[in-house]
């Protein structure tokens, strides 16, 4: 029987940290949220994730686990105090894993390119693969949700968490760059899904308000620029 000494090392603006927090909320597991400060790393973080030295880390009864999607799968296996997060059907599960990997390996790195792009033309070019990716994900949404609210069906599942954690940053990217990424005409399914996802009881307390996240983004970008030029 799993104990319930559960800690998350994280930071509230991080989309990756949001993933295990949503998963723990789905399972109604209480946890201590230990905030790391941007630009420094606590002793506990360095000890808990010596390979990557990155958040999030879940510490369960003293055992540290790193990598957000691995943590989500761990949570799903350990606690049955809430609905399953991964699809039970093997094929559905493989497809959910495929798109979650696509999001982390291809789609989100492309989105970071928008913030880095200088000038109107560069920004337009940087947006292209992001929007193309969302069109692919719209198609995946149709196939996975089978007419229901979420990728996971009636309830939030693995792929909902994998993509949904980026919704705050999608909105901040739209706001700071004066662009439109999630478009009601181009990706109507995802557009509606995004609203449902953010309103869900497992999500709404950990999804930051766009204005607050935009302020944090400005501070983070300024620190990165200062470090790069020092």
Closest separation between CB of residue 216 and its own copies, Å?
27
Q: How far apart are the C-alpha atoms of 113 and 101, rounded to whole Å?
A: 18
Closest separation between CB of residue 118 and its own copies, Å?
28
Q: How far apart are the C-alpha atoms of 35 and 21, rounded to whole Å?
A: 13
Q: Which of 49, 55, 59 is nearest to 29 (CA)?
A: 59
The answer to whether 19 and 197 are in contact (CB under 8 A) is: no
What does DSSP assign to residue 103? Answer: I
Select the residue interacting with its own copies from 41, 97, 123, 175 (CB under 8 A): 97
Check binding of 51 to its own copies (CB under 8 A). yes
Select the residue interacting with its own copies from 46, 70, 122, 219 (CB under 8 A): 70
Give CA torsion, residues 201, 203, 208, 211, to 10 deg: -70
Check binding of 91 to its own copies (CB under 8 A). yes
Check binding of 120 to its own copies (CB under 8 A). no
Q: Which of 66, 56, 52 is nearest to 32 (CA)?
A: 56
Which range binds its own copies by CB under 8 A, 62-70, 161-169, 199-207, 222-230? Answer: 62-70
Instruction: Give SS3 for 218.
Output: helix
Check binding of 54 to its own copies (CB under 8 A). no
Closest separation between CB of residue 91 and its own copies, Å?
5
The answer to whether 7 and 58 are in contact (CB under 8 A) is: yes
Choice between 39 and 143, CB closer to its own copies:
143
The footprint of its own copies (CB under 8 A) covers 2, 51, 60, 63, 65-67, 70-71, 73-74, 77-78, 90-91, 93-95, 97-98, 101-102, 136
């Amino acid at each position: 029987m799993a104990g319930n000494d559960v800690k998350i090392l994280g930071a509230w603006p991080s989309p990756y940290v949001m993933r295990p927090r949503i998963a723990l909320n789905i399972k109604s597991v209480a946890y201590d949220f230990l905030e790391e400060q941007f630009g420094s790393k606590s002793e506990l973080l360095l000890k808990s994730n010596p390979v990557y030295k990155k958040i999030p880390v879940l510490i369960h009864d003293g055992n540290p686990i790193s990598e957000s999607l691995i943590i989500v799968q761990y949570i799903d296996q350990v606690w049955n105090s809430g609905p399953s997060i991964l699809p039970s059907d093997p094929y559905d599960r493989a497809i959910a894993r495929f798109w979650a990997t696509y999001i982390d390996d291809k789609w989100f790195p492309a989105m970071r390119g928008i913030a880095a792009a200088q000038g109107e033309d560069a920004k337009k070019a940087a947006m292209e693969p992001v929007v193309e990716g969302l069109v692919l994900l719209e198609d995946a949404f149709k196939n996975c949700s089978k007419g229901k609210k979420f990728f996971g069906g009636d309830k939030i599942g693995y792929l909902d968490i994998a993509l949904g954690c980026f919704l705050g940053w999608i909105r901040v990217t739209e706001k700071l760059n004066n662009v439109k990424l999630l478009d009601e005409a181009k990706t109507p399914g995802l557009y509606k899904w995004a609203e449902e996802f953010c309103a869900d009881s497992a999500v709404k307390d950990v999804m930051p308000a766009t204005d607050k996240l935009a302020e944090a983004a400005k501070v983070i970008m300024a620190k990165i620029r200062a470090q790069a030029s020092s």
